[in-house]
Amino acid sequence: MGNSAKKTKKKKLWQRIKQYRIAYYFILPTALAMLFLHLLPIAQGIYMSFLNLNQITLQQYLLAPFVGLDNFYKVLIDPGSPIRIGLFEAVRNTVIYTVIVTIGTLGVGMVVALMLNRKFFGRPVVRTLFLFPWIVPTYVTGLLWGIMWLREGGLVNVLLVDWLHLMPHKLSWLTGPNTIWAIIIPTIWRYWPLSMLMLLAGLQTIPDELYEAADIDGAGPWRKFWMITWPMLRPVWFILILFGLIYNTYSFNIVIMMFGFGAGFPGEWGDLMMTNIFRNSFQLWNFGTGAAASVLLLIVMIAIVNVWFRYFKKAEEMQ
């Protein structure tokens, strides 16, 4: 009975494939591109994590000595490993950075989207101007903000100390604990227009009749937001939070360009997982351990994405 059911299932699957074969023909080029551009490099990176790949064995590349889990031991346990030194700080900074940037971009994007959803003179022009930070390349953002954060002559200290007198003295933003804010604020500035654009598109799909009915019931702005706007934007929030967690965890360009034009060290409070992996792989020539750290980060992100999908699915079922 079981074998018969399996054969029937396979037959139906083959019939569906045959029925929609033209669609599969169109999908095939994209599937092959995904295979070569994504799956093969990932497989190669996983294989590299099991090799003793450094400046000496780099000539052999994928034929370098196989060391098994030794690279993972160096990343997670060995206190004397170069990549292990500073790894805890990089993980801590990445978590803080990802959480605050994700919340910040969504918060600013939501406020601006609500403003732009109202009708006023010059709205198209204002909407276009608000997209400017998103248009600027990330490496340019890193260079510009790196100059703005300078202790002497930097625009931030000049603005806060000399012009607005909000601080008694100038701060060192690119060294010490302030570094984490020096990388968080430019990232929020760079990415909030994307959140604003997607949330604005979601707001424009909400029927006006719902707000009119709420006005008749005497609901205030906050109640309308929590009872109408928030639930209707749930799918948009889901996508934005998911993308924010992924993009911010793998954030690299802004941070690396802010410190020494890509050659500097962000410090204890500015080093992220990607800058840590980059430094150990391409500056210290520890490609094997760098690949192992990348694989571990990949596993963690897959777990986070799966948990987030399960949470969203469960939340939708409870609606």
**pLDDT per residue as tens digits for the range 88-135:** 899 999 999 999 999 999 999 999 999 998 888 888 899 889 999 999
**Residue of 139, 307, 117 whose CA lies nearest to 200:** 117
User: Within a 10 A sphere around the Cβ of 279, how many other Cβ atoms?
Assistant: 22
Report the pLDDT value the prediction gives residue 165, as an integer from 0 to 100: 85
Portions of the chain given CATH number 1.10.3720.10? 86-283
CATH fold, domain 86-283, is MetI-like fold (1.10.3720)
Decide if 216 contacts 264 (C-beta within 8 A): no
Q: Which residues contact 78 (CB under 8 A, 6 or more apart)?
A: 84
Beta bridge partner(s), residue 66 = 51
**Residue of 133, 119, 145, 95 whose CA lies nearest to 272:** 95
DSSP class per residue in 47-98:
HHTTB--STTTTTTGGGSPB-TTHHHHHHHT-TT-TTTTTHHHHHHHHHHHH
Q: Enumerate residue ranges in the chain where pLDDT < 70.
A: 1-11, 260-264, 317-319
pTM across the whole model: 0.87
Give 241-271 pLDDT, tens digit per residue.
Answer: 999 999 999 999 899 888 865 556 788 899 9
Decide if 271 contacts 90 (C-beta within 8 A): yes
Q: Which residues contact 319 (CB under 8 A, 6 or more apart)?
A: 231
Compute the distance between CA of residue 144 and CA of residue 257 in angstroms, rounded to an integer: 9
Report the pLDDT value the prediction gives residue 19, as an integer from 0 to 100: 82
Give 220-230 pLDDT, tens digit per residue.
Answer: 888 988 989 98
Report the pLDDT value the prediction gives residue 93, as an integer from 0 to 100: 95
Q: Which residues contact 91 (CB under 8 A, 6 or more apart)?
A: 273
Report the pLDDT value the prediction gives residue 318, as an integer from 0 to 100: 65
Decide if 169 contacts 161 (C-beta within 8 A): yes
Report the pLDDT value the prediction gives residue 159, as an integer from 0 to 100: 92
Number of DSSP helices (H) and strands (E) in the chain, helices first? 17, 0
